[in-house]
Amino acid sequence: ASGSFVFGMDDNTTNRLTILWRENMYWASGLWFNGRFSLEELNKYAFVFSFVSTESEQYLMYSGDPNYPGTLFPRIVIGQNGVLQIIRLDSEQTYVRCYPFGEDMTYEDCYEKNSRKCVRAGCMFPDTAYELRECRHFDFNETISPFSSSGFVLNETGGRLSSTDCQVKCLQNCSCLAYASTNLDGTGCEVWDTDPTKESSSSHSPRTIYIREKGPPLDEKKAAAWLVVMALLFLMIPVIWLIIYLVLRKFKVKVTVFFRGMFYFLWGEVIPKMIGYIRRRLQTLRVGSSSTVDREMLLRELGIDRRGRHRRSARKNNNELHIYSFESVALATDYFSDENKLGQGGFGPVYKGMLINGEEVAIKRLS
């Protein structure tokens, strides 16, 4: 694709697809396992994937599913804006779109329900990597106009700038009000600190330009929202107390009796339920963190870091004996299921399996 996005197989973890944006992980399909990707969205379209791994090469093939209606010569294409599309003779369909900016859409998908065979998949480039300034609204309006004013053309060091790079460059500068591509294929970047469409001219060819929406700074928006909330609460408190007073007066209930009953209700009913809810939430967080630690331990045994890349130390020591935990071996063989049993020897049965990094293994379980 033209621009700064690259779509292909991961150089470090070969059994998954990735989209790289300037050599940074932008999107990942999840690992290939049992003929499917861990990211279920990839298995819902009209493609049949096959992963081939030999001693000399590894590659992934795809073809159209003949059982899927309306499949006419499908292709997977990555655009200059990082959008992965399915192109057919009769239609186009968005496959992957990590948008809008500033949203960390990373999540974990599992091969099986209630399984620890989970990997990071989906959009995984958080807004902190962009170093965006919270100074103006993030939305842009697309306009086609024959304007004549020239903006500042950014230097394209390190590769051609896509429209996504150009938008991020504009968001990093509070004075930037508009941006546009300089080339017909959507690459190159030109930015303005004033609205260039106000100087339109019929003698120039129309260009597509993106104008940042006008709006107050985010801090002022937050302050205005809090001011409205506090004003409403301030107005509601005397109204509530007036309603309580009128009800007590109507039913001739003493105020002290009312507050004593409210105290017993809060202490005996509401507060214990709140404490129980907080305890359950804390227990859930502890369980989730322990499962993450277990998964990282399994990946560390295989010489893989958190991003799915092989560590250098693992590459250097590949001639040494690797020691795996029982948990990683059990997961590889689906807990020694009969379907993975290859045969029976003198010292115990032999099982086939697949490690979490996609490597096929044969495991003997001693009697």
pLDDT of residue 32: 75
pLDDT of residue 331: 74
pLDDT of residue 110: 45
309: its two tokens: 């890349």
| Mean of pLDDT values over 343-351 | 82
pLDDT of residue 17: 83
94: enclosing H helix or E strand: strand 92-96
Residue 93 predicted with pLDDT over 80:
no
| Mean of pLDDT values over 329-344 | 80
Residue 172 predicted with pLDDT over 70:
yes
- The CA-based dihedral angle spanning residues 212, 213, 219, 222, taken in that order and rounded to the nearest 10 degrees: -150
pLDDT of residue 353: 86
Tens-digit pLDDT profile for residues 64-73: 777 766 556 6
Tens-digit pLDDT profile for residues 113-164: 444 445 567 777 655 555 666 665 667 888 887 766 677 887 765 557 888 8
Give CA 356 to chain center in angstroms: 21
Q: What is the spatial distance between Cα 6 and Cα 223, in angstroms, rounded to a whole number?
A: 41
| 159-165-168 Cα angle (round to 5) | 150
pLDDT of residue 220: 53
Contacting residues for 83 by C-beta, under 8 A, at least 6 apart: 94, 96, 97, 99
pLDDT of residue 257: 65
Tens-digit pLDDT profile for residues 192-229: 888 887 776 666 678 888 888 775 554 555 656 767 77
Reported as a pLDDT band with limits 50, 70 and 90, residue 292 is very low
Residue 94 predicted with pLDDT over 70:
yes
113: enclosing H helix or E strand: none
| Mean of pLDDT values over 307-325 | 51
Q: What is the spatial distance between Cα 156 and Cα 154, in angstroms, rounded to a whole number?
A: 6
Residue type, 111: Y
Residue 307 predicted with pLDDT over 50:
no
The mean predicted confidence, pLDDT, of the chain is 70
Residue 312's alpha-carbon distances to 17, 136, 304, 305, in angstroms, are 22, 43, 9, 10
Residue 311 predicted with pLDDT over 50:
no
Radius of gyration of the chain (CA): 29
Residue 312 predicted with pLDDT over 70:
no
Residue 74 predicted with pLDDT over 80:
no
Residue 78 predicted with pLDDT over 80:
yes
Order of all β-strands in the sheet with 207-212:
140-145, 207-212, 178-180, 190-192, 152-153
Kindly report the backbone phi and psi dihedral angles of residue 194, in degrees, each rounded to the nearest multiple of 5, phi listed first: -130, 165
Residue 46's alpha-carbon distances to 69, 97, 269, 310, 357, in angstroms, are 8, 18, 55, 32, 26
pLDDT of residue 358: 67
Poorest-pLDDT segment among 61-65, 98-102, 168-172, 246-250: 98-102
Residue 37 predicted with pLDDT over 60:
yes
pLDDT of residue 43: 63
**What does the DSSP assignment read for 194-245?**
S-GGGGB-TTS--EEEEEEPP---HHHHHHHHHHHHHHHHHHHHHHHHHHHH
Poorest-pLDDT segment among 189-193, 233-237, 287-291, 357-361: 287-291
Domains within the chain, CATH numbers bracketed: 5-125 (no CATH), 140-212 (3.50.4), 218-287 (no CATH), 324-364 (3.30.200.20)
Q: Using a pLDDT cut of 70, give the percent of the chain over it.
A: 57
